[in-house]
Structure 1
């Protein structure tokens, strides 16, 4: 894995502009791109750095402008973050790794390290932009995810910076707020350790008459950052029609992280129940009508029927 070199300072002359052939234009974004500086034949998906507290690490990013006009780009450091559903994003106000990132710049005509760098990349040119990560004294062991963010032409792009501080690290997570409704199992994962986790999820559900769901562990398409909470859902299209079940989720990750959570759910075919209830009410209602008809009092206007006058007259004498 590529690694960052240890340096004491960042020279201003480290910024270089390299002519490049026109690149394939990304759809709808003007064509410019931000990538880690060249780190092999296939490049690197992100920047990885590891250093003790108090050290200064150096690496770089490339800004490629394949267009026919100069491109002004604004670069800055940021803390990485998870969205609510686990996607990668960045925080607008860095407090950790983003605040440790600096670029070569000038202030009052003097060379200095700046938190934000604005540069113009000529047409059909690639700019190699070095940066440093200063690991502060007292930085906690573990992962400190960050990013280099570039803004140009109304678009924002970012390169991840995976910084690790050596030392005892904690790998821990919990599964919380498990619910079952609408054909889906919803749950929350919380990274309570100091390392980035790629969770593996297993799902099991037991009903009154045995197991009704058993999914083997699989890797989730998320990277859960330290201290972050995300909410995910698991589809369950073929759930029981009538049963009482307990659903249990078990999540594991590298470093011995293990967590589980459970929820109970009742599955009742309410449409069938409603139809049956309506039929019973109809039948009961009909029986009441019949009983009421049978108990109707005699009709006063029907006294000309045979035997009726004789019985009434005899009772009155």
Structure 2
């Protein structure tokens, strides 16, 4: 039996969605272009624009200007006023103060300039957004500075004081340094100080200068010594500095000098008195009289 043709029925319609639900979901769908990585307590969020990034990433050599865009999304029912700033990174925004209407997203371009004296390595910071009520949200910034790595340092202004040795360390390279220090001092009769290399509790970023001291309570009482400091760090950084110092017991010397001076004054006084008693009188001083 040949198939029986049936008349097509009315077209099937998709299930209707209540208008109120459409009004609620559509704006959120349009606004949610990137992930909300930082949430403000007032119903607004902050995120990098595009790419689904949880943070800002940038790389460049010293002096490079890096560009990116941050989005502030207000999903609430009332406008919000926010202020943008960089924390730990020199960020400059196209607009730092914004008033964002309800259910609206604002995109703000900004630049970060790598400092001209920045050495190679990783740096961290954040883009901070704060509203009029003091609520804040942040997005991390990861900055990698390129360029050749150079480890170099110098020891400067070495001096020997009453009970310690003072000096300055200067990072002359482009990497962060954790220095190691050894100390030697040789006197007239041999070595009087010998401290093996040890790691100092300091971190020197490029260009940093630190004044440090080394205690020396058991220094010689009477000697002339040559003090030498040797500082090293990873990457081949190394420098030495030396200076001379004379140790004299000035208290004993001062006391002996005072005793000698006092004895000399007594002897001098006695000699002057003896001279006064034995000096002859002049002829004009004798009494004269007339004889009648």
TM-score by length of 2: 0.56
The offset of 1:289, in angstroms, is 2.4
Q: Which residue of 2 aligns with 1:99?
A: 90
User: RMSD value over aligned CA atoms?
Assistant: 4.3
Q: 1:147–1:274: structure 2 CA closer, same or farther, 3 Å change rule?
A: farther
Q: Which residue of 2 aligns with 1:292?
A: 272
Map 1:33-52 → 2, pairs under 5 A = 51=59
Cα deviation digits, residues 142-195 of structure 1 (max 9, x gap):
136555598x9xxxxxxx988543442110000011111131211111111000
- Bigger Rg over Cα: 2
Please, which of 15, 21, 32 is the counterpart of residue 38 of structure 2?
15
Q: Which residue of 2 aligns with 1:112?
A: 108
Count of paired positions: 205
Residues 232 and 239 of structure 2 are in contact (CA less than 8 Å); yes or no, is this contact kept in structure 1? yes
Q: Which runs of 5+ in 2 are unaligned?
A: 1-32, 42-54, 69-81, 101-105, 131-139, 282-292
SS at match of 1:296: helix
Greater relative CO, 1 or 2 (CA 8 Å, sep 6+):
1
Residues 186 and 231 of structure 1 are in contact (CA less than 8 Å); yes or no, is this contact kept in structure 2? yes
Q: Which runs of 5+ in 1 are unaligned?
A: 1-9, 19-46, 59-71, 79-97, 116-132, 153-159, 302-317
User: Following the alignment from structure 1 to structure 2, what is the Cα–Cα distance between the partners of residues 299 and 217?
Assistant: 75
Residues 67 and 110 of structure 2 are in contact (CA less than 8 Å); yes or no, is this contact kept in structure 1? no
Cα deviation digits, residues 105-148 of structure 1 (max 9, x gap):
98464122568xxxxxxxxxxxxxxxxx8879x99761365555
Is 1:142–2:120 an aligned residue pair?
A: yes
Residues 106 and 113 of structure 1 are in contact (CA less than 8 Å); yes or no, is this contact kept in structure 2? no
The offset of 1:77, in angstroms, is 2.2
User: Following the alignment from structure 1 to structure 2, what is the Cα–Cα distance between the partners of residues 211 and 56?
Assistant: 56
The offset of 1:101, in angstroms, is 9.2
Please, which of 165, 185, 192 is the counterpart of residue 165 of structure 2?
185
Q: 1:275–1:145: structure 2 CA closer, same or farther, 3 Å change rule?
A: farther
The offset of 1:271, in angstroms, is 1.1
Q: Which residue of 2 aligns with 1:69?
A: none
User: Following the alignment from structure 2 to structure 1, what is the Cα–Cα distance between the partners of residues 194 and 141?
Assistant: 38
Q: 1:146–1:13: structure 2 CA closer, same or farther, 3 Å change rule?
A: closer
Q: 1:265–1:139: structure 2 CA closer, same or farther, 3 Å change rule?
A: closer
